[in-house]
Structure 1
Amino acid sequence: MKKVFLLILAGIFFSNLVQAQSSAKGMLNWPKVENQMKPWTRWWWMGNAVDEKNLDYVLQQYKDAGLGGVEITPIYGAVGFEQQYLQFLSPQWMNALNYTVKKANILDMGVDMNTGTGWPFGGPQVKPEYAATKLIIQNYKLNGGEKLTEKIKAKEAKQDFAVLQAVTAYGSEGETEDLLSAVQKDGSLNWSPKSGVWNIYAAFAGKTRQMVKRAAPGGEGFTLDHLDKKSVDVYLKWFTDSFNNKPQGVRSFFNDSYEVYGATWTPTFFAEFKKNRGYDLAKHIMDLVSKDSTNESIARLKSDYRETMDELLLNNFTKNWTNWAHGLKSLTKNQSHGSPGNLLDLYGAVDIPETETFGSSAFAIAGLRRDSADIRNVDPDPIMSKFASSAAHTGGKKLVSSETFTWLTEHFKTSYSQCKPEAENLFLSGINHIFYHGTTNSPANIPWPGWLFYASIEMNPNNSLWPQAQGLNNYIARCQSMLQIGKPENELLIYWPIYDIWNNAKGLDMALKVHDVDEWLHPTAFYKLSQDLTKAGYSFDFASDRLLSNTVTKVNELQTAQNASPYKVLIVPSSYFINLQTLDNIIKLANDGATVIFQALPKDVPGLNDLENRRAKLKATLSKFIFAQSGNEILTYKIGKGQILLTENIRMALAQDSIKREELTDTGLKFIRRKNNEETIYYLVNHTAKDIDTYLPINSIGKMTLLDPQNGMIGTGAMQGNKVRVQIKSGETLFLNVSTNQLQNIAWNYLNKEGKKIDLNNSWSLHFTAGGPEIPASQKLDKLVSWTELKEPKLAAFSGTGVYTSTFTLASKTGKEYILNLNQVNESAKVWINGKEVGILWSIPFQTRIGKYLKTGNNTIKVEVVNLMANRIREMDIKKIQWRNYHEINFVNIDYKPFDASKWSLMPSGLIGPVTITPYY
């Protein structure tokens, strides 16, 4: 059975999935879209108040809107519906899970599941002895000849389960004594110093007492001790028993970002530290909890402490949990950020690494709205996202996912136009499996706006934008259908110097959070180098010390895993510390034929144990690097079959080694590149404020085909040598397929000579078809304006669908193509010309080709527009209509303060235009 599952696993991750392949006629087509290529969503089960009828109802709606799967996360419930709550993992809850999986299978959707409720992992099965643990230190002082009168017991309240693990006395002359055996059962200390002043430090394994945050009914309890294998095993057994030790059809079990606050310890820490670091941490308790933030020895000690935390979390939780999931024929999907460990290894130890976006990014896209109220202290960072994608790429994994759009804007104000570039930044970072954050399960009988989660973008059927959700969903599906085939083609592997981060005398554990990248990531030479290489047009992934220990050189390239794409060069950014074993591994890679570039040679070894001996070894190793000048700024050390280069000018060294950058980035375009058999696939994104029409230089050689993921159009590109012409407006994207096959697609229809614009300035009829709180009366418009500016009083509060119709005359149809430009749309529009559906214009620029729909003479146009929920919510708060009433956290705004929309200004709504048609000849 295990062998069968491994074959299934291999089929999921190591096959080419559905290839972007040519038909019998030699034409390039879009890949067939499978459910994992569509966007999925985190699916909040409020109070676990689910039933088969409503599960049927909502899953069908999700399917029809273009979602490919759901990720069940049970949380707290709505007040007044307690009788409908199901206890987590009860027989009734299991029936609901099984029904969901069955229904999803019928709909060709997938189901993932949080291995818990709320976050982080914990619950009623986590008794105090298995709960998250913290180090408690108590300090006593004794003079020579004195005896300690108080008993050594944990003084902190509610620490009945605290276990005394070490007692160390420190003399004024630097002496230390282990006093643990001198502590009696009642806590009395049977010891007295002979002379001098002694400080005594007692170390207890105490409990954080953190409870599961946002827990669902039946999921309440202490947070788990993730660092202790026995505790993790006890936790997972609850699920195994509830599942009767049988697979449940769950594709992947999910773990949210590590938010185990204050969990600085585990009962086995002293033993693990001594085994792995080689010395007794109990002798260094005073330094471990020291407030001195400048002492070098303390920084080294804490580096060793953090490395031990990393090992415990990796082995006792992450790998352990993944092995458990595989036993149930499921995968694991993990958000490793926030963990006190090496993020690359923690991401890499699961089947689907997952990053997240939190807040909004600044884009130069012309006309894109970004409200000041939506700006948080740190924007989502593509380099941070590359930690998850790097772990997937270097491990040969097909899928890498993201919790997407968390707090992208304030509630009810998120447009699809704002979602698009944020998703594109993820794709450019190597993410290819988007999960919305999120969709709250809301039964059909719940009044509008339904049940809502306090940090979601309301990606649900009650959202007034929902009727046109297919626009965004289909775009993401097309993109992911291309980004999930083949393998990434990144030529560079960049070492991440984790010891430079760990070597810090401040604090204790070090959680590397996605929200704190300005503290632990942005100041580093590693980050600056990554940004510079991105802008220059290079593609890369990150490597950890553990990854390099398993990397081999094959035909002068670096192979990180059997199914991973090879890398041409290893780059070691400027770093102060390097592990001796890592340096030896790097030297071996070069000796076997690899090219390694050091931005600067490391200066020291990390950690505290056997320090001088290890420093001597580092010095001896580096002394063997006999460099010769090979360029103005480059030193070269030939070793074995390969070479080690030393230079601050990484780009010059890459050029010397014939590693070409993609010059297309000089235009401002961003890209990511994948290899699929004989095809190279480029994803091109224009996040600049300008429209680009140029011949792009492309490093890959072959016939070039353009694919537009917004409208599905495919055509052969015009070429000049190895350049291809692209026309890509601000806010638009294109895929470029470079193939050695002789494909027979028709030529791409470029927009060349622009003719005179046709203004659609006839009157418009506006009719409202769906929404609330009331359907407004139909309107006759001589000029397009926001419908909130019209005299109809119901329109100020209206959120829903308005249908605009008008006519225009086309004197002659002589253009090669015609472009409809709606200009300002708030927020999404579906267009028909002469009764034929053109498509959904849901993002900037609100333009599309309509030549094939036009006719000479009189033409009709219909534009169905959906606006935001904001104005209706504003009205409800002005009138103090109760629409939010939840247990635990009720409902908050983007700053986590009580939500109140009553002071909002009205959001513009509808088709504002001006609407024009431009012929091209």
Structure 2
Amino acid sequence: MLRKTILACCITALALPASAQTKWPAVTQQTHPWTRWWWMGSAVDEKNISASLQQYNKVGFGGVEVVPIYGAKGYESRYIKYLSPQWMKMLDHTVQQSNALNMGVYISVGTGWPIGGSNVTIQDAASKLIVQQYDLKANTPLAEKITVTDPKQKGFAALSALMGYKKNGTTIDLTNKVDASGTLQYNTADDLKLYAVFTGKTRQAVKRAAPGGEGYTIDHFSKAATVDYFKIFDTAFGNSSHGVKAFFNDSYEVYNADWTPDFFTEFQKRRGYDLRPYINLFVSDAGNDTVARLKSDYRETLADLMRENFSTVFTQWTNKRNTLSVNQAHGSPGNLLDLYSAFDIPETETFGSSYFPIKGLKRDSGDIRNVDPDPNMLKFASSAAHAYGKPLTSCETFTWLTEHFKTAWSQCKPEVDQVFLSGINHVFYHGTTYSPADVKWPGWLFYASVNFVPDNSLWPHVKGLNEYITRCQSVLQAGEPDNEMLIYWPVYDVWHNAKGMDMPLKVHDVDKWLHPTNFYKNVVGLQNAGYSLDFASDKMLEHAIVQNGLVSIVAKGAKHKVLLVPACDKMPVATLKNIIRLAKAGAMVILEQFPKDVPGFNDPEKGKQELNALMAEIRNGKIITGDVTNSLNALKIPPEPMAAKQLKFIRRKTADGTYYFIVNNTANDIDEKITLQTTAATILRMDPLNGNMNLLPEEKNANTTTVRLQLKSGQSIILKCSNKTEPAPVYKYAVPAGEAISLQNNKWTLSFAAGGPQLPATKQITGLQPWTSFTEDSTTQSFSGTGVYTTTFTIKNKAADYLLQLDKLYESARVIINGRDAGLIWSLPYELNVGGLLKEGSNTISIEVCNLMANRIRDMDRKGEVWRNYHEINFVNINYKDFDAGKWKVQPSGLDGAVQLMPLK
């Protein structure tokens, strides 16, 4: 059968012209990577905006996300006030120029972060809970004033409640007994413990604000505050979006904002009881179940308020202008799934550097933060998008990937692959700083970014990374997600905690609120076993439906074969009812363990009785309970076998079939058969590095397809399992055809094409070595730019193809063979098929290598040159200390080790 399939593929490929061959999904503005574009001091002008956008477009960016921030010192005369008529003119010019280049523009709703600004009044500013205690003695007036004692809160804090507690537990509301001066007009025959509840203000200001954007952070729990905030945009934008495709809000990062003025009213409306009589318990240090239940209800209320009063209002405001909302929900004190869901484009972020055992991948512990991004944190955003059929999930990518000026594009690839595997399909670089042409090298730079800027010495090769991402995203934006499992996230187990207050769910705290849970253990274990999944909240299950046995949150949302409910302690009665409803409608449901209790303080005994009654119903129903793996086997839902080889994957389903994006971020090269859990008439091998599409021979089984896969350490591939016959050339498996041609010990000319501070002299060398090995030439130690290695060699009997392999590349290269461009080498493994450009006889190869910015920056700092001079945070290193590259070692630059041409059959 296999032999017949191979023969048929060969005949099909040979019989059809190239114009009839299958093509990649369409490349659009959205499939390109975008970049966050910082406007320092909003010191922008039309000429430099136009020039910058043209540079970004040329290397493959699809759009910019404008974020005004603090400015560079000495350029204050160029600053433009945020949202002023002049600022809007610059924005309009940006949109006009972007449209001409088929690029898009997003814009942040504010400057810096978190959301706030000059128009935020103290009434609308972020609020905090302040509780003071007093002792009221029997028959003795209270001498102290019921006023806030914190001097920073004088004139800001307002009394929300005064509750008195007798020794027998009786509660008295004394709020109306306090006069305007703060005097308590009340006498009692009993001793009372008084608790005064004030609504204070955090007084947090916008971080990294641009001119005109300074001011308080808003109260995210107040609808009035959100509506008021957007009034300044109403004035500037009117009823139009001015061509802006989306309005963006950065990560929450609001500190100590755990209250809002009408919280007591909103709490009682939602939770069914008055919190005020229990304030003494609520603020106590007692770590008991009662306090945890009160805190759970409090956190759920904050979550409701943030979703309804901020997230929903934000999206409504943008949609009225026929544009989209983008939000980073992580770090918020709420159910992240529901908060992400309230926006048109949920956005997550990566922060720090992940460990990958890829052969040759550099990862210097001194150049990375002690933070490993967790790909499952990213899935909260993509799950929300998948659930509601939102086509895009975006990600702020590469934040603090390495120390400044030390990030190679080869380090970006595995990180962005991990982002893709998490369901992200709309990548934003972090990022690019606007810099006028008259600012000398290295231009204006943002303190926390990988510098995707034209002044970066690696800029000539960033197009390779951009084209790779574009091809990947053209597939990952096609069709719909194809994850077989929906897994319930038991947020009430997280909220049921007597410690703390608002509990923001931060990226950096996953070891506290995510990693210890059964939910997380299931997620990791199932993915490692070969299952793909999305997360679901209680609110999502409330809306969920069953169609043809598949579970989806809404009709247009992702469809799943099974709903998994991991072992959890607390579950609302309504949630369990919805789970049973879905099972009765035909959904396959696995309940790992019966929930033990209901969350919350309001009559938990009654809730537990209802829960127990429902669980009795489950024992006689269709829901499978017990071990997850055994249950999946019983339901005949198999995993993808490739996971056993530690290959990672994500699937997308289209009308034509299924796409597999497969990544080998292990230390091992793969060359063996893998089985795919799908059927196909045609398997296409799509290489996102170069755009090649080829037919793969296949073995067809009843419900699966087997193909041979060659995938080296660090490589990724896309397989299209098409349900129709599609024409393409047959893939040629790489098989060595003899000894490699070694170029390592050739005579080479090393010249320097571009860069600074000055070009080193041309060198004739025998045997490859980095240009930084010439320590006697000081110009090689400070040079950042492009060095060109050129040599000639002879081929006697030309093979069918040749694979150029570079051992040590610092950091990326363009290869020119016999005067023709062979392509870029920027990712691991450092190799390139070049046989089509070689000939029998004499050949010339030039390898144009770009190195890091680090050596030139090091030289500037050693000489004391001033290049970082900004307001606010100025410029810091990866540990947020003053930046100084003067003590760095010279970074190796150029080529080293073996360079060879491997002949292939």
1:282 matches 2:268:
no
Matching residue of 1:121: 115
Contact 1:26 1:743 in 2 (8 A): no
Q: CA deviation at 1:195?
A: 2.5
Q: CA deviation at 1:176?
A: 1.1
Once residues 618 and 869 of structure 2 are traced to their aligned partners in structure 1, the CA distance between those partners, rounded to angstroms, is 68
Quick one: which of 812, 828, 832 aligns to 1:828?
Answer: 812
Q: Which amino acid in structure 2 is aligned with residue 454 of structure 1?
A: Y
Once residues 742 and 138 of structure 1 are traced to their aligned partners in structure 2, the CA distance between those partners, rounded to angstroms, is 74
**SS state of the match for residue 123, structure 2?**
helix
Q: Which amino acid in structure 2 is aligned with residue 801 of structure 1?
A: T
Cα gap change, 1:580 to 1:805, in 2 (>3 Å): same
Cα deviations across residues 66-97 of structure 1 (Å, max 9, x unaligned)?
Answer: 11000000000000000000000000000000
**SS state of the match for residue 695, structure 1?**
strand
**SS state of the match for residue 158, structure 1?**
helix
Q: Which amino acid in structure 2 is aligned with residue 131 of structure 1?
A: A
Q: Which amino acid in structure 2 is aligned with residue 377 of structure 1?
A: N
Once residues 242 and 290 of structure 1 are traced to their aligned partners in structure 2, the CA distance between those partners, rounded to angstroms, is 47
Q: Which amino acid in structure 1 is aligned with residue 346 of structure 2?
A: P
Cα deviations across residues 103-122 of structure 1 (Å, max 9, x unaligned)?
Answer: 00000000000000000111
Q: Which amino acid in structure 2 is aligned with residue 710 of structure 1?
A: L
Once residues 869 and 513 of structure 1 are traced to their aligned partners in structure 2, the CA distance between those partners, rounded to angstroms, is 32
Matching residue of 1:718: 697
Q: CA deviation at 1:23?
A: 10
Cα deviations across residues 409-444 of structure 1 (Å, max 9, x unaligned)?
Answer: 000000001000000000000000100000000001
Q: Which amino acid in structure 1 is aligned with residue 625 of structure 2?
A: L
Contact 2:166 2:190 in 1 (8 A): no
Once residues 193 and 784 of structure 2 are traced to their aligned partners in structure 1, the CA distance between those partners, rounded to angstroms, is 68
Matching residue of 2:741: 758
1:812 matches 2:791:
no
**SS state of the match for residue 301, structure 1?**
helix
Give matches, 1:442-453, under 5 Å.
Answer: 442-453=435-446
Aligned length: 882
1:738 matches 2:718:
no
Cα gap change, 1:799 to 1:515, in 2 (>3 Å): same
Give matches, 1:580-595, under 5 Å.
Answer: 580-595=573-588
Matching residue of 1:553: 546
Contact 1:824 1:914 in 2 (8 A): yes
Once residues 120 and 754 of structure 1 are traced to their aligned partners in structure 2, the CA distance between those partners, rounded to angstroms, is 59
Give matches, 1:854-873, under 5 Å.
Answer: 854-873=838-857
Q: Which amino acid in structure 2 is aligned with residue 698 of structure 1?
A: L
1:176 matches 2:171:
yes
**SS state of the match for residue 317, structure 1?**
helix
Matching residue of 1:84: 78
Q: Which amino acid in structure 1 is aligned with residue 89 of structure 2?
A: N
**SS state of the match for residue 152, structure 2?**
coil
Q: Which amino acid in structure 1 is aligned with residue 199 of structure 2?
A: A
Contact 1:378 1:518 in 2 (8 A): no
**SS state of the match for residue 823, structure 1?**
strand
Matching residue of 1:633: none
Q: CA deviation at 1:182?
A: 1.1
Once residues 375 and 291 of structure 1 are traced to their aligned partners in structure 2, the CA distance between those partners, rounded to angstroms, is 38
Matching residue of 1:728: 711
1:680 matches 2:658:
yes
Once residues 283 and 806 of structure 1 are traced to their aligned partners in structure 2, the CA distance between those partners, rounded to angstroms, is 84
Give matches, 1:885-896, under 5 Å.
Answer: 885-896=869-880
Quick one: which of 240, 246, 251 aligns to 1:252?
Answer: 246
Once residues 398 and 771 of structure 2 are traced to their aligned partners in structure 1, the CA distance between those partners, rounded to angstroms, is 28
1:795 matches 2:795:
no
Matching residue of 2:3: none
Cα deviations across residues 489-525 of structure 1 (Å, max 9, x unaligned)?
Answer: 0110000000000000001101000111111101111
Matching residue of 2:267: 273
Q: CA deviation at 1:843?
A: 1.1
Cα deviations across residues 748-782 of structure 1 (Å, max 9, x unaligned)?
Answer: 01112442111013111111111111111111111
Matching residue of 1:359: 352
Quick one: which of 485, 510, 513 aligns to 2:506?
Answer: 513
Contact 1:23 1:29 in 2 (8 A): no
Contact 1:122 1:211 in 2 (8 A): yes
1:415 matches 2:408:
yes
**SS state of the match for residue 525, structure 2?**
helix
Q: CA-atom RMSD, angstroms?
A: 1.2
Q: CA deviation at 1:24?
A: 10
Cα deviations across residues 1-60 of structure 1 (Å, max 9, x unaligned)?
Answer: xxxxxxxxxxxxxxxxxxxxx999753211221111011000000000000010011110
Once residues 555 and 716 of structure 1 are traced to their aligned partners in structure 2, the CA distance between those partners, rounded to angstroms, is 33
Matching residue of 1:663: 641
Contact 1:334 1:353 in 2 (8 A): yes
Give matches, 1:592-671, under 5 Å.
Answer: 592-626=585-619, 637=620, 639=621, 643-647=622-626, 649-671=627-649
Cα gap change, 1:378 to 1:290, in 2 (>3 Å): farther
Give matches, 1:893-904, under 5 Å.
Answer: 893-904=877-888
TM score, norm. by length of structure 2? 0.96
Once residues 31 and 426 of structure 2 are traced to their aligned partners in structure 1, the CA distance between those partners, rounded to angstroms, is 7
Q: CA deviation at 1:904?
A: 0.7
Q: CA deviation at 1:559?
A: 2.1
**SS state of the match for residue 50, structure 2?**
helix
Q: Which amino acid in structure 2 is aligned with residue 86 of structure 1?
A: I
Cα deviations across residues 588-643 of structure 1 (Å, max 9, x unaligned)?
Answer: 101111111111110000000122111111122212233xxxxxxxxxx4x3xxx2
Contact 1:291 1:507 in 2 (8 A): no
Q: CA deviation at 1:192?
A: 2.7
Once residues 628 and 188 of structure 2 are traced to their aligned partners in structure 1, the CA distance between those partners, rounded to angstroms, is 59
Contact 2:369 2:400 in 1 (8 A): no
**SS state of the match for residue 192, structure 1?**
coil
Give matches, 1:145-294, under 5 Å.
Answer: 145-159=139-153, 160-196=155-191, 198-292=192-286, 294=287
Quick one: which of 62, 68, 74 aligns to 1:68?
Answer: 62
Q: Which amino acid in structure 2 is aligned with residue 888 of structure 1?
A: E
Q: CA deviation at 1:175?
A: 1.6
**SS state of the match for residue 38, structure 2?**
strand
Cα deviations across residues 97-153 of structure 1 (Å, max 9, x unaligned)?
Answer: 000000000000000000000001111110111111111111111222222101111
Q: CA deviation at 1:668?
A: 1.6
Q: CA deviation at 1:578?
A: 0.2
**SS state of the match for residue 37, structure 1?**
coil
Q: CA deviation at 1:832?
A: 1.1
Once residues 24 and 899 of structure 1 are traced to their aligned partners in structure 2, the CA distance between those partners, rounded to angstroms, is 54
Q: Which amino acid in structure 2 is aligned with residue 666 of structure 1?
A: A
Q: Calculate percent identity across the aligned residue pairs.
A: 53
**SS state of the match for residue 182, structure 2?**
coil
1:323 matches 2:323:
no
1:785 matches 2:778:
no
Cα gap change, 1:462 to 1:308, in 2 (>3 Å): same
Contact 1:420 1:472 in 2 (8 A): yes
Once residues 157 and 748 of structure 2 are traced to their aligned partners in structure 1, the CA distance between those partners, rounded to angstroms, is 74
Once residues 25 and 719 of structure 1 are traced to their aligned partners in structure 2, the CA distance between those partners, rounded to angstroms, is 24
Runs of 4+ off more than 6 Å: 22-25
Matching residue of 2:896: 912
Matching residue of 1:7: none
1:383 matches 2:376:
yes
Q: CA deviation at 1:651?
A: 1.7
Once residues 58 and 629 of structure 2 are traced to their aligned partners in structure 1, the CA distance between those partners, rounded to angstroms, is 48
Q: Which amino acid in structure 2 is aligned with residue 338 of structure 1?
A: G
Q: Which runs of 5+ in 1 are unaligned?
A: 1-21, 627-636
**SS state of the match for residue 68, structure 2?**
strand
Once residues 153 and 193 of structure 1 are traced to their aligned partners in structure 2, the CA distance between those partners, rounded to angstroms, is 20
